[in-house]
Structure 1
Amino acid sequence: MSIIKEMVKIAYNALDDKQGEDIRIIDISGISVMADYFIIAHGNNPNHVRTLMDFTEEKLNKAGFDTKNIEGNHNGSWVLLDFKDIIVHIFDKENRSFYDLERIWADGKIIEDVKSF
């Protein structure tokens, strides 16, 4: 398994472990140079969004992957964790719907089953 796919699985599992909602993985490697994968999820409230962010960052850091940048507002409505090869977007439900990254990046390939990925 490639290192990038390992990163994706760690991030996905971290989000899943903390009950991230509607977790999506989009392979953007063929359409963008900014990253290979987007991982998108949302939380149920500001505390949940922050928990998802903290736990995902912690799990990836413990696995040896450095956070390159964190953007967004830390009040719990949207945050982006940039790990260079993967970018994790965590929203509250309203902002996820508003930004609709799945539509914007519809040319990317949706990864349906992370277990066989």
Structure 2
Amino acid sequence: MTQTHTIDATTHAQLTAIFDAAVERRADDVTVLDLSSVSTTLDFFVIATATAGLQLNAVQENIKQKAMAAGLPRPTVEGPSERWLLMAFGGSIVVHLMTREAREYYDLEGLWSDARVVKFGELAE
């Protein structure tokens, strides 16, 4: 039922920068959801799992630096807490950094199950 959203080259580069930055700091289960066909206000969620404290902060800082280098504005940050940190890059890309427990509890992938999962291979092309 969801239609395929073509990712333009700029957004492609920005999502790749965010994905790579999270993986670089050893975040787990990095998932990119294309919300364009199920939301009128958001285009992409990037969801990643990190341990609390230092790793969460290291992932956040690396994502912020790499995303801004890729042309995204300075993110607004909600939280931060020891379990969940939200980074909003304008209205189009929102990054959720969560502990495993918070990710399982809030189940964003389940709540947005109509969204298309963008495979990393699609970003790496």
TM-score by length of 2: 0.84
Equivalent position SS for 2:81: coil
Aligned length: 115
TM-score by length of 1: 0.90
Match of residue 11, structure 1, among 14, 18, 24 = 18
Q: Is the 8 Å Cα contact of residues 28 and 37 (structure 1) preserved in structure 2?
A: yes
> Which residue number corresponds to residue 34 of structure 2?
27
Percent identity between the two aligned chains:
24
User: CA offsets, 1:55-109, max 9 Å, x none?
Assistant: 101111123311342112x233111111121111000111111111000000000
Q: CA deviation at 1:2?
A: 2.2
**Rounded Cα–Cα distance in structure 2 between residues aligned with 1:6 and 1:42:** 21
Q: CA deviation at 1:50?
A: 1.2
Structure 1 gaps, min length 5: none
Q: Is the 8 Å Cα contact of residues 49 and 103 (structure 2) preserved in structure 1?
A: yes
User: CA offsets, 1:4-28, max 9 Å, x none?
Assistant: 2211111001001111100001100
Tell me how large the CA RMSD over aligned residues is: 1.4
> Which residue number corresponds to residue 72 of structure 2?
65
Aligned runs of 1:94-105 on 2, under 5 Å? 94-105=101-112
Q: Is the 8 Å Cα contact of residues 25 and 39 (structure 1) preserved in structure 2?
A: yes
**Rounded Cα–Cα distance in structure 2 between residues aligned with 1:64 and 1:108:** 25
**Rounded Cα–Cα distance in structure 2 between residues aligned with 1:68 and 1:14:** 15
**Rounded Cα–Cα distance in structure 2 between residues aligned with 1:95 and 1:38:** 16
Equivalent position SS for 1:40: strand
